[in-house]
Amino acid sequence: MLEIYKGNLKDLLVPKPTKATDPMPPCLSIQADPKGEIVIGNLVAIEVNDFNQALRLYRLGCRLRTTASTNSNLTSSRSHCMIRVAITCFDTSERRRETNKLWFVDLGGSERVLKTKASGKRLDEGKAINLSLSALGDVISSLQRKRHHIPYRNSKLTQVLKDSLGDDSKTIMLVHVSPKEEDLCETICSLNFATRAKSVHLGNEDTTVSRQISFWYIVLLHYLL
């Protein structure tokens, strides 16, 4: 479980140092294995055997996530949160093991400075979130237009998701929008982004099955910023 805060990767399952003498947690790095799959170097991986174990780890990580108060939200997420789940299955008859990777991603909400009145550290955080969301939008547009070059390297967010947004991967996008009139601009932008994502078909041209990014419109009482 990690967060992308101001363009940096941070392990949310490693406690913050409380003393000056405490060792700093190892830096996370984005790498590709020989098969081309994305690997996060030094990211803590913990084996769990049931839902309750996973839930406890999730709650632990959420407590370490970076949040702050803004004019739009009292507990605004100041980062993107990503949870990686690796599920390993064993086929005893064929003596074969298969591992599949699943990412759960909570994207930080886009922000308008005129609305949030952010300054200093909050402003820098908002800019970083907006830049990475823009990079994700560029990747979605390139996939939609079936371009040869996909700009995954333009942000840490898209680098991590590189092997989850192309080839034979499956993606579900849930769009959080607000029913408030004052949030209309953000709502329209979110729905336009989702419309672009819906038009993307994943999979190689020579395959008979083309997997489409699907999404649901979810109306929440609170717009997450």
Q: Is residue 224 part of a domain?
A: no
The CATH number given to whatever domain includes residue 59 is 3.40.850.10
* pLDDT number for residue 62: 92
The pTM of this model reads 0.81
* pLDDT number for residue 222: 32
* pLDDT number for residue 158: 94
Residue 30: partners with Cβ closer than 8 Å, 6 or more residues away: 9, 38, 39, 40, 41, 156, 159, 160
Q: How far apart are CA 46 and CA 53, in angstroms?
A: 10
CA angle 179, 192, 222 (to 5 degrees): 25
Q: Is residue 139 part of a domain?
A: yes
32 is in which domain, residue-wise? 2-12+25-219
Q: Is residue 46 part of a domain?
A: yes
Q: Is residue 19 part of a domain?
A: no
Q: Is residue 92 part of a domain?
A: yes
Taking 60 as the threshold, does the pLDDT of residue 205 lie above it? no
Q: Is residue 208 part of a domain?
A: yes
The runs of H, that is alpha helices, within 38-169 are: 51-63, 113-116, 120-144, 156-160
Q: Check if the beta carbon of residue 135 is closer than 8 Å to that of residue 155.
A: yes
* pLDDT number for residue 19: 77
Q: How far apart are CA 6 and CA 124, in angstroms?
A: 7
Q: Check if the beta carbon of residue 67 is closer than 8 Å to that of residue 75.
A: yes
Each residue's pLDDT tens digit, 71-127: 777 777 889 999 999 888 888 888 888 888 889 999 987 777 777 677 788 888 888
| Number of independent structural domains in the chain | 1
Question: What confidence tier does 203 reach under pLDDT thresholds 50, 70, 90?
Answer: low
Q: How far apart are CA 174 and CA 106, in angstroms?
A: 10
Within 10 A of 2 (CB to CB), how many other CB atoms are there? 24
In the chain, the amino acid numbered 146 is K
Per DSSP, what are the bridge partners of residue 41?
29
Comparing 148 with 218, which gets the higher pLDDT?
Answer: 148
Q: Is residue 150 part of a domain?
A: yes
Q: Is residue 18 part of a domain?
A: no
